[in-house]
């Protein structure tokens, strides 16, 4: 039967281990932020069909995809210029039918590698959450919203 041995480390070794641990933690935080980018800008529209036609026929966008929201009311369309890694325009119909004359940008989305990790990380900070849980759309995209300091909506989004 073996007995665990007690090892005593010098104060210098303990300090070096603390510094290595701190450096590793800072490195992981930097890596986590490197994978982020603006994924899309969400614009609320009254008529998604007319808006898709305008953005494709008049401005040269391509329709990259459409999906209903899980709430059964909102319709989403994603448009871009055909690049695989571009910031997209998201059209949102059904969120609010009383739009101001100038239209309304609903949010911007930051793409993250792991939406659950971001959710847990932000829960530890002084951040105002709009959503209390992560939503998964029928196409598999996952997201949640937080508020910026002036009430603007920021979506943390995983494809």
Query: What is the per-residue pLDDT across 77-112, written as a single tens digit (0 to 9) for each?
Result: 999 998 888 999 999 999 876 767 666 888 989 899
For residue 41, what are its two tokens?
């800008």
Q: What is the pTM of this model?
A: 0.65
Q: What is the mean pLDDT of the chain?
A: 83
Q: How confident is the model at residue 158 (pLDDT cuts 50, 70, 90)?
A: very high
Ranges of each domain in the chain:
36-158
**CATH topology classification for 36-158:** 2,3-Dihydroxybiphenyl 1,2-Dioxygenase; domain 1 (3.10.180)
Per-residue confidence (pLDDT) for residue 34, from 0 to 100: 58
Confidence check: pLDDT of 115 > 90? yes
Among 48, 62, 156, CA closest to 95: 48
Per-residue confidence (pLDDT) for residue 54, from 0 to 100: 85
């Amino acid at each position: 039967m073996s007995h665990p041995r007690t090892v005593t480390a010098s104060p210098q070794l303990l300090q070096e281990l603390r510094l290595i641990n701190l450096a590793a933690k800072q490195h992981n935080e930097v890596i986590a932020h490197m994978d982020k980018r603006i994924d899309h800008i969400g614009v609320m529209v009254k008529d998604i069909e007319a808006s898709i036609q305008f953005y494709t026929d008049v401005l040269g966008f391509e329709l990259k995809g459409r999906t209903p929201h899980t709430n059964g009311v909102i319709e989403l369309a994603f448009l871009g210029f055909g690049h695989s890694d571009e910031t997209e325009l998201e059209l949102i119909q059904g969120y609010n039918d009383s739009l101001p004359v100038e239209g309304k940008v609903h949010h911007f989305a930051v793409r993250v590698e792991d939406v659950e990790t971001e959710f847990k990380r932000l829960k530890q900070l002084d951040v105002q959450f709009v959503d209390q849980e992560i939503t998964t759309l029928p196409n598999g995209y996952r997201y949640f919203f937080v508020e910026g300091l002036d009430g603007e909506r920021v979506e943390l989004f995983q494809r």
